[in-house]
């Protein structure tokens, strides 16, 4: 529907690109079965909101099979599609599933922001012998990003489980994933004019989480703000804060960690309400100033 796989059917034909009936439980189950015999399928959901129709296949059939077979059956499959808030599609099409799937052992969960992330993580996900959930963002599909020569090379792959520092800073650590990474960089540019240098970390992977990179940054900046589009309760930011509190980096914090999240309500349809339910640049700036007490 969003033309991300445009041209693949013409190139590879019906044997490799299958357009099934819109029955998520059915085509997801077929894909999981194919993965069990090492076909490495890529299962695309029109949006991850529809993956709830197939969540039994994703969790019970894909995520748990390797463990329950004592390692005898691997399930190398990629579940991919747009995740999180889009624009004007209301409550049933605007959920972030990073915390949902990041909660489940047996899955790897990646969440790209840039074109470089999308390319490198997709290749890594297809090559991985575990089921991988790739949470893209519909509003980023039309956003152009610069690609380095290295990122454009045929062999470019981003390791799953490794975050990237998008901007170096010394005063506060901003940790985010997917579209809010761009908001963090915008907020950092504004704050830099006021003498506040933010270190912006693009998580890239939700599970396994690169908490070491976050800890190292917190040790340097002594302040932490997490930013995500999902709901606050049991969210990705909540997990980061808990991991920091339980580790040695907690001793370096000069103020409590702060979370910037989506509003704790189903997504409204009206644009003005929708805008107020999604973290904006001004919300990140406010959180940073609150953390730094300025």
Average per-residue pLDDT for the chain: 96
The domains located in the chain, with CATH, are 8-152 (3.40.50.970), 164-292 (3.40.50.920)
Q: 149 with 172: CB under 8 angstroms?
A: no
- Give the model's pLDDT for residue 164: 98
Q: What is the pLDDT of residues 9-58, one digit of tens each?
A: 999 998 899 989 999 999 999 999 999 999 999 999 999 999 999 999 99
The helix (run of H) or strand (run of E) holding residue 160 is none
How many other C-beta atoms are found inside a 10 Å radius of the C-beta of residue 132? 28
Half-sphere exposure of 275 (CA within 13 A, CB side): 4
- Give the model's pLDDT for residue 6: 86
Q: What is the pLDDT of residues 192-217, one digit of tens each?
A: 999 999 999 999 999 999 999 999 99
- Give the model's pLDDT for residue 4: 86
- Residues contacting 98, CB < 8 A, separation 6+: 83, 84, 109, 111, 135, 177, 178, 206, 228, 230, 235, 236
Catalytic site includes residue 93: yes
Instruction: Please state which of the ranges 13-17, 108-112, 187-191, 240-244 shows the lowest mean pLDDT.
Output: 13-17
Q: What is the pLDDT of residues 115-125, one digit of tens each?
A: 999 999 999 99
User: Is 5 a residue whose pLDDT tops 90?
Assistant: no
Q: Coil, strand, or helix at residue 37?
A: coil
Percent of the chain with pLDDT over 90: 94
From 93, 103, 186, 197, active-site residue: 93
- Give the model's pLDDT for residue 202: 98
Catalytic site includes residue 24: yes
Would you place residue 1 in the very low, low, confident or very high pLDDT band (cuts 50, 70, 90)? confident
* CB burial string 188-206: b at 16+ within 10 A, e below: beebeeeebebbbbbbbbb
Question: Which pTM does this prediction carry?
Answer: 0.95
- Give the model's pLDDT for residue 132: 98
- Give the model's pLDDT for residue 130: 97
Would you place residue 266 in the very low, low, confident or very high pLDDT band (cuts 50, 70, 90)? very high
- Give the model's pLDDT for residue 289: 97
How many other C-beta atoms are found inside a 10 Å radius of the C-beta of residue 148? 9
């Amino acid at each position: 529907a969003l033309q991300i796989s445009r041209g693949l059917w013409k190139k590879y034909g019906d044997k490799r690109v299958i357009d099934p009936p819109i029955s998520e439980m059915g085509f997801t189950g077929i894909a999981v079965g194919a993965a069990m015999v090492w076909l490495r399928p890529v299962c695309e959901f029109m949006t991850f909101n529809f993956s709830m129709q197939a969540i039994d296949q994703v969790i019970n059939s894909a995520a748990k099979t390797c463990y329950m077979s004592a390692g005898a059956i691997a399930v190398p499959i990629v579940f991919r599609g747009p995740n999180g808030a889009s624009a004007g599609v209301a409550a049933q099409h605007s959920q972030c599933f990073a915390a949902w799937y990041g909660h489940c052992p047996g899955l790897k969960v990646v969440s790209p922001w840039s074109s470089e992330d999308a390319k490198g993580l997709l290749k890594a996900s297809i090559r991985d012998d575990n089921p991988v959930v790739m949470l893209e963002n519909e509003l980023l599909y039309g956003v152009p990003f610069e690609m380095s020569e290295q990122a454009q090379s045929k062999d470019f792959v981003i390791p799953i489980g490794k975050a990237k520092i998008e901007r170096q800073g010394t005063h506060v650590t901003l940790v985010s994933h997917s579209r809010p990474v761009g908001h963090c960089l915008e907020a950092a540019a504004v704050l830099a004019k006021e003498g506040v240098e933010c270190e912006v970390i693009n998580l890239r992977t939700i599970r396994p989480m690169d908490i070491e990179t976050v800890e190292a940054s917190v040790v340097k900046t002594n302040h932490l703000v997490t930013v995500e589009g999902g709901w606050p309760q049991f969210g990705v930011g909540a997990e980061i804060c808990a991991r920091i509190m339980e580790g040695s980096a907690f001793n370096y914090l000069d103020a409590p960690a702060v979370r910037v999240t989506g509003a704790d309500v189903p997504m409204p349809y009206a644009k003005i309400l929708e805008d107020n339910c999604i973290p904006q640049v001004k919300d990140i700036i406010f959180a940073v100033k609150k953390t730094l007490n300025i």
